[in-house]
Amino acid sequence: MTDYSKHDNTIIMKSISKYLIAFPALALIILAGCGAPNGDETADTTESTTRERIVAVETMTVEQVRFEDRIRINGNVSAFEDAMISVETPGQVLFIAERGTNVKKGDVILRLDDRLLQANYQATKTGYELALDAFNRQNALYADSVISTMQYLQAKAQKDQAASQLTAIEKQLEDAALKAPFSGRIEEKLTSEGQFVGPGTPVLRLVNTNQVKISGGVPERYAGIIKAGSEVEVQFRSYGLESRTAQIRFAGNLINPESRTFPVEIVLNNTNGSIKPSMVVEMRVTRSELEESIIVPRTAVIRNDEGLSIFVVTNDNGTLKATQQTVTLSLSSGDYVVVDSGLNPGDQVVTAGFTNLSNGDLVNVIATRSTDDLLK
C-alpha cells in the first residue's frame, strides 16, 4: 500500500508541475493581447504631443534705427586741479586754514610769523636807499669826468646788490602769507598753528573738483580713428548718477607698451560735487555712426557649425511658428550687433526662450518689445 501511495503522489506532482510551467506563458500571451492596443495609443499620444509642442518666447520687433558704433573703456576720475601746497620760507605757523574750507584763488591759507622778516626788510630797504643815493651822486660826478670809471662801477655794483637783497627779502615777506594758487577746497591739513616749518614742507592739500578729469586708455588699433573732439558718453552705473556726454580734450600719441593703449582725457563740469575723484566709470567712445541699421541683441544670435542664425516668428494662418533664419552681421557695440542681411523691418526676432527651440516649433509670444525700448 505504501508503494502505491508513493507512486500516485509522484504522478500528481508531475501533473501540477506541467500546469505551473504552462501558466506563466499563457499569462504573457493574454497580457500581450490586452496590452497591444494601449501601447499603440501611447505612441500616438507621444507623437501628437511632439507635434503640438508650444514654446513660450519673448520677441522684439526690429526696425531701422540710428546706430552708433562705440568702444567701451574704463575711465578713472581725478580732480581737475590737485596740489600739495608747500611753504618757501622758514617760520612758525600763526594761521592755517581748516580742512573742508572752500577758498578762492589768492585767499591766504597759511600765515607765518614774519616779525623778523619785517625787521630785515626795513634794514635792507634803508641800505638800498643809501646805495641808490650814493650811485646817483657818483653818476653825476662821472658824467662830469670828476671820478674814474672804476669808482662809478663800484657805486653801481653796490646799488644793484642792495636792490637784489631788497627783492629777496620782499619775496620772503610775501611768502610768509601763503595764498591759494587756484580756487578749491582744503582736503588735507598737514601742520598746525605753532609748528615751525621749513622751505619745501607740504602744509596743505588743495583740490578743485568743480571740474573733473576722466582718463582712459583706448586700444592701439583705434589710434587712427579716436582723436581729440571725438564724442564720449560717460556712464556712472555703480554710483546711481546720470550719464554725461563730452568730447575728448586730449588724445595721446604715445602707446603704452604694457597695455598697448593710448591715453585719452575728457573734462566734465562738477559744480554740485557729485562726481568724486578715484571713481571708476565707463567711457563709450563713438567710432562710427550708421543712420539706418537693423540691430538685435547679441544674445539672440545663434552660432554653430553652419554659421549665424536668428529665430524669427512667422504667422501661418494664425499659427505662430519659429523659423530659423540665416543672417550676416557687421558692426557691434556693447550688447547689440548690426544685421547686414537676413532680416527685414517689422520681423519679430526671438530674444528669449530659444534655448530649446527648433525650426518649425509652435511658439507662444508672452512679451514683445520694440528696438527703441531695448535701447533705452
Q: What is the pLDDT of residues 112-170, one digit of tens each?
A: 999 999 999 999 999 999 999 999 999 999 888 888 999 999 999 999 999 999 999 99
Question: pTM for this one?
Answer: 0.61
Q: What is the mean pLDDT of the chain?
A: 83
The answer to whether 221 touches 199, Cβ cutoff 8 Å, is no
Q: Residue 12: its pLDDT value, please?
A: 39
Q: Which of residues 242, 265, 290 is at a domain's end?
A: 290
Q: Which of residues 290, 311, 343 is at a domain's end?
A: 290
- Tell me, yes or no, whether 150 lies in a domain: yes
Q: For 337-363, what is the mean pLDDT?
A: 85
Q: Residue 180: its pLDDT value, please?
A: 96
Q: What is the pLDDT of residues 21-40, one digit of tens each?
A: 444 444 333 334 444 444 45
Q: Is the pLDDT of residue 189 over 60?
A: yes
Q: Is the pLDDT of residue 68 over 90?
A: no
Q: What percent of the chain has pLDDT over 90?
A: 45
Co-location of 161 and 219 in the same domain: no
- Number of Cβ within a 10 Å radius of residue 189: 17
Phi, psi angles (nearest 5°) of residue 239: -120, 5
Q: Which residues contact 181 (CB under 8 A, 6 or more apart)?
A: 83, 85, 105, 206
The answer to whether 78 touches 265, Cβ cutoff 8 Å, is no
- Tell me, yes or no, whether 302 lies in a domain: yes
- Tell me, yes or no, whether 269 lies in a domain: yes
Q: Residue 326: its pLDDT value, please?
A: 86
- Tell me, yes or no, whether 83 lies in a domain: no
Please report, for the domain that includes residue 263, its CATH number. Answer: 2.40.30.170
Please report, for the domain that includes residue 186, its CATH number. Answer: 1.10.287.470
- Tell me, yes or no, whether 327 lies in a domain: yes
Q: Residue 340: its pLDDT value, please?
A: 83
Residue corresponding to grid cell 582723436: 227
Co-location of 97 and 171 in the same domain: yes
- Tell me, yes or no, whether 256 lies in a domain: yes
- Number of Cβ within a 10 Å radius of residue 118: 13
Domain count within the chain: 4
Q: Residue 171: its pLDDT value, please?
A: 92
Q: Residue 179: its pLDDT value, please?
A: 95
Nearest Cα to Cα of residue 376 among 65, 165, 125: 65
- Number of Cβ within a 10 Å radius of residue 321: 15
- Tell me, yes or no, whether 10 lies in a domain: yes
Q: What is the pLDDT of residues 218-266, one digit of tens each?
A: 998 888 888 898 889 999 988 889 899 999 999 999 999 999 999 999 9
Q: For 350-376, what is the mean pLDDT?
A: 80
Co-location of 189 and 174 in the same domain: yes
Lowest mean pLDDT among 30-34, 57-61, 71-75, 350-354: 30-34
Nearest Cα to Cα of residue 365 among 339, 341, 347: 347
Lowest mean pLDDT among 41-55, 189-203, 285-299: 41-55
CA-to-CA distance for 202 and 83, rounded, in angstroms? Answer: 10
- Domain holding 255, by residue range, is 71-78+206-290
Co-location of 350 and 308 in the same domain: yes
Q: Residue 18: its pLDDT value, please?
A: 44
Q: Is the pLDDT of residue 45 over 50?
A: no
Tell me the sheet residues that pair with 303. Answer: 308
- Tell me, yes or no, whether 84 lies in a domain: no
Q: Which residues contact 193 (CB under 8 A, 6 or more apart)?
A: 93, 94, 95, 96
Co-location of 94 and 200 in the same domain: yes
Q: How far out from the chain centre does Cα 320 lie?
A: 42
